[in-house]
Structure 1
């Protein structure tokens, strides 16, 4: 990667933030009530725009947490959960298809290393279990797992089912948090997040302990020895 690319990206991000702060200072930042009123006035276009925007933005390595919180704040728990699940699933499918269509050329150089190789081998052979368990772990970035799944040999339907199963618990917890509009998270929501993470770790352990074909296992061991 050229050294100047992250520098330009950082400058651009600072410029965008500065412009947003300037606009908010001059014209005033809208409050929660204002945003909810605008959402209601937009009618059916509001949820459609939300799903489309979330899918388009989170295909990139942008965290989806902001959209998940906003869904609860703008649409309430019930509709917010539906919209966030739709936008998240659509983003996951778009990323998966784009990686497969491009042959992984755009993201493969960012998915190297022993951890990425380990995940790809399990995704190749454990399908739904591997996808769902990794989705449940909050520490694994959403976009990174999308790219790894696209680079792996996991099939479309196991990827889709594993994604939906894995994103539901954490999504529900965060949307409800956004709906509550509190300054600190509810202990119950923290418990849900921790439980989801533990379930995901347990699924990863199960997938790791299940045997993989000998050629893949040997290739993984050889690659690890080379790195050592």
Structure 2
């Protein structure tokens, strides 16, 4: 098994090997694990269309927006410029993985970067289609609507039905289908992501998950 691909010291640096980068700052770790938890809960625990499901969906939207902003103003390793999508570099990295000649990157490696962008795009599809399906209503509005119906006030449903008639029902149906496909796809991508982390951890000879939990090594 190949060992860690440490680089040698450059000009002006002290001798010896330089430890591989550990770029996961608190915001990156927060968004990573919060998104993972939210996706699992909304897929396996909450009921689709329920207030809890919508609340978590809005939470996912907030996390996605936070990571988007952090990709421009955060530390260098967290910025999009540090890991641009590059299909050619991705294929080269995978070929190096097969040959056992991996090297460290200051941020995501090319294959990891490709997976990150795929996950973000899929997450955006889930959030966007969910907003279309709920008519953009907030979780508070949906909860109030359900409470009113439970109390016997059906007028709120009549009002919403009128609004629904003004929207394109075809768009709502397509959004529902997209939501289901994206929700299943993100689980497949997550499993591939986990498999990739396991394989790279073995190839590099170190645990790649620990820094995402503990942050920068002291």
Higher relative contact order at CA 8 Å, sep ≥6: structure 1 or structure 2? Answer: 2
* Pair member with larger Rg: 2
TM-score (norm 1): 0.29
Higher helix residue share: 1
